[in-house]
Amino acid sequence: MIADIIDKKADYPLSCHTTLKIGGNAECAFFPKSIDEFLSVRDYLVSQNKKITVIGAGSNLLVSSNGIKGGVIFTGSICGYKFLDDYRIKVDSGMKSAVLAKVLLEKNLSGLEFLIGIPGTVGGAVTMNSSAHGQGIDQVIECAEVLDIKTGKIIKLDKAELKLGYRYSFVEPNRHLILNAVFRLTPDSYSKIAECMNFHVNYRKEKHPPLTEPNAGSTFRNPERGVYIGQLLEKIGAKSWVEGGARLSQKHANFLFNTGNATSSDVSRLMYKMYNEIKKNFGYELIAEIRYVGEPTEEEEIIWKTFQVH
């Protein structure tokens, strides 16, 4: 089975699997349909001494234009769920965040309405401790199963052990993977939950650029409570900034998008300018919300060491 997957997915193009629409080819790509299949692929790649990269929905992600060596495992088909009781649900990491929000709406369960507007997966939402307008993953998560990709060990972590903070968790990029998570929700009326979901959708339509402008969501984390990078960038005229095929959004300056032919170097250079200008004008040293994967150029490697969490 593994051999068949390799034969069909060698030298696989990645740009169509990211919301930025940027990226070279994967040496090999895999699309497991269950956690057991994922573990089999992981074991195979380890046995072949191949680097492992995991991609969910491809949001908040910049893939190198040079591509990715080794094996890329996509989790989008690992999307099962089951209710453990009237208020708790166990969800696989590859389920789309918006799909989960709709499932909970039909069960009259509140707490994750904000996921309706996030173009990612549950695994990514837990990893980044996603939140918006008073709702957040950390308010409803009970526990998660986490795979150590390097050792193959699976551990179950409760909420405290996940160490959830602002756009942060225990999960280490390129080392750990959320396999599934359990959430405890609160019963509420269908109309109230739907109203809350509509608020989140409309807010994003009003404030954020659409995905018809290929983007990866917020570029940098806000440095502290009440300080918004988009507003700081707007104060220094950043909405006019362009680097090759990448430019900042006229709608929200902390979003950058691909005008059609942007490379990973274009995006990296534009992010570097954002970082340096914020540091020079306001004193903040920013951390990227976007994650970089793949084979960097020498320039990209230097740039990403500046603001990526390791």
Residue 170 pLDDT: 85
Mark whether 189 is an active-site residue: no
Residue 204 pLDDT: 86
167, 221, 247, 291: the active-site residue: 167
Residue 6 pLDDT: 44
Is residue 295 domain-shared with residue 253, that is, in the same domain? yes
Burial of 153: CB neighbours in 10 Å, binned 0-12, 13-18, 19+: exposed
**What number is the average pLDDT over the span 204-218?**
87
Asked if residue 201 belongs to a domain, the reply is: yes
Residue 7 pLDDT: 39
27, 113, 145, 289: the active-site residue: 289
Summarised one tens digit per residue, pLDDT across range 173-200 is: 778 999 999 999 999 999 999 999 999 9
CB 267 within 8 A of CB 255: no
Asked if residue 218 belongs to a domain, the reply is: no
Q: Which domain holds residue 117?
A: 81-207
Residue 106, amino acid: E
Is residue 108 domain-shared with residue 177, that is, in the same domain? yes
Summarised one tens digit per residue, pLDDT across range 54-95 is: 999 999 999 999 999 999 999 999 999 999 999 999 999 999
Mark whether 295 is an active-site residue: no
Is residue 95 domain-shared with residue 118, that is, in the same domain? yes
Mark whether 131 is an active-site residue: no
Asked if residue 214 belongs to a domain, the reply is: no
CATH classification of the domain holding 137 = 3.30.465.10
d(CA 256, CA 286): 15
CB 236 within 8 A of CB 281: yes
Summarised one tens digit per residue, pLDDT across range 255-275 is: 999 999 999 999 999 999 999
pLDDT band at 239 (very low <50, low <70, confident <90, very high): very high
Is residue 123 domain-shared with residue 239, that is, in the same domain? no
pTM: 0.92
Is residue 120 domain-shared with residue 38, that is, in the same domain? no
- Map the chain to HEC letters: CHHHHHHHHEEEECHHHCCCCCCCEEEEEECCCCHHHHHHHHHHHHHCCCCEEEECCCCCEEECCCCEEEEEEECCCCCCEEECCCCEEEEECCCEHHHHHHHHHHCCEECCHHHHHCCCEHHHHHHCCCEECCEEHHHHEEEEEEEECCCCCEEEEEHHHHCCECCECCCCCCCEEEEEEEEECEECCHHHHHHHHHHHHHHHHHHCCCCCCCECCCCECCCECCECHHHHHHHCCHHHCEECCEEECCCCCCCEEECCCCCHHHHHHHHHHHHHHHHHHHCCCCCECCEEECCCCHHHHHHHHHHCCC
Is residue 178 domain-shared with residue 246, that is, in the same domain? no
Burial of 65: CB neighbours in 10 Å, binned 0-12, 13-18, 19+: buried
Summarised one tens digit per residue, pLDDT across range 94-148 is: 999 999 999 999 999 999 999 998 889 999 999 989 988 889 999 999 999 999 9
User: Which of 30, 55, 74 is the last residue before a domain boundary?
Assistant: 74
Which of 304, 300, 241 lies closest to 274, judged by CA? 241
User: Which of 44, 74, 104 is the last residue before a domain boundary?
Assistant: 74
Is residue 281 domain-shared with residue 248, that is, in the same domain? yes
CB 42 within 8 A of CB 4: no
218, 249, 264, 268: the active-site residue: 218
